[in-house]
Amino acid sequence: MPKAPSKTTLPALDPMTVPEDNATGYPAPYRDLVKGRFRRRLGDATGLRSFGVNLTRLEPGSASAQRHWHEKEDEFVFILEGELVLITDKGEQVLKAGMAAGFPAGVPDGHHLVNRSDKPAVLLEIGDRPAGDRFHYPDIDLDGYDEPRAQSHFTHKDGRPW
């Protein structure tokens, strides 16, 4: 049987070696909701280009994003630890470790996950990276688009830039 290497090398990696970030491109009035969101961008770290994979930690009181939906991007989440509340146009559901949810592109059902517990929660976020995606935020004066993919741009609902 081959001996396992003592250090992991790509294409494999230890997710805990990928730096966490809690950056957001949201304009100032909308940043506070995600200040307790910390992502390890595993897809980027492994060189993936067609879809993204994030190992995300949500601290108590924080959300995964502002409630939104995408015109072109499919999204999938899998809860690894803790408990989160999924909020959609249909209402609220509690998701616990081992549960998942998917959000097909083009379905105008705003969604996000909120940590209302007193402990951090960890989830895996997976989404494809379609060119020219547009995203909409039904609860706030915000719309956005990706062009190029590496840069998100935000506008007011009337089209004025932030």
Question: Most distant CA pair in the chain: distance in Å?
Answer: 63
56-95 pLDDT, tens digit per residue, is: 999 999 999 999 999 999 999 999 999 999 999 999 999 9
Which helix H or strand E contains 44, and what residues bound it?
Answer: helix 42-45
Task: Please list, in sequence order, all residues whose beta carbon lies within 8 angstroms of the beta carbon of residue 96, skipping any fewer than 6 positions away.
Answer: 79, 82, 83
In order along its 162 residues, the chain shows pLDDT tens digits of 666 556 889 999 999 999 999 999 999 999 999 999 999 999 999 999 999 999 999 999 999 999 999 999 999 999 999 999 999 999 999 999 999 999 999 999 999 999 999 999 999 999 999 988 999 999 999 999 987 655 678 999 999 998
Residue 151: per-residue pLDDT = 66
Residue 89: per-residue pLDDT = 97
Residue 8: per-residue pLDDT = 86
> What's the fold here for domain 26-131?
Jelly Rolls (2.60.120)
How far is it, in rounded angstroms, from Cα 87 to Cα 136?
Answer: 15
**CA 29 from centroid of its chain's CA atoms:** 19
- Phi/psi for 13 (5° steps) reads -155, 160
Residue 143: per-residue pLDDT = 96
Domain assignments of the chain as residue spans, ordered by start: 26-131
